[in-house]
Each structure stands twice: as C-alpha cells, then as structure tokens.
Amino acid sequence: MQTTRDERGILNNFATEPNVYFAESPSPAQQRNYAIQGALAIALVSGLVGLALTVS
C-alpha cells in the first residue's frame, strides 16, 4: 500500500491500482444470447407495464 505523509504529518493511503487489460469482443454465441436476453427483458417490462395500465 502506498502511503504518503504531508507537511502536517497526516497520512494519505492510496488504493492499489488494478492491472489494465483490453476487453475481448463477445463471440457470436454470446451476442445471440445477449439479443435473446434483451428481447425477453423487453417482453417482460412491456407485459408488466400493460398489466399495470390494465389494472389501474
């Protein structure tokens, strides 16, 4: 852990920085799964909004 001390004797503790790396693009199978999950989420939210409008 990095620690510095200023002129008044107060300590400053700095968090350790994580290693930086480049993200990899998702595979076609993962992209398909994301699209399916998005469609299901839109259907669920639309259904809930429609139910709320019907009940109120």
**Looking at residues 24-52, what average pLDDT do you find?**
97
Q: pLDDT tens, 6-34? A: 788 788 777 778 899 999 999 999 999 99
pLDDT of 1 strictly over 70: no
Separation of CA 21 from chain center = 17
CA atoms of 11 and 13, how far apart (whole Å): 6
The residue extents of the domains of the chain are: 2-55
pTM over 0.85: no
33 and 24 in contact (C-beta within 8 Å)? no
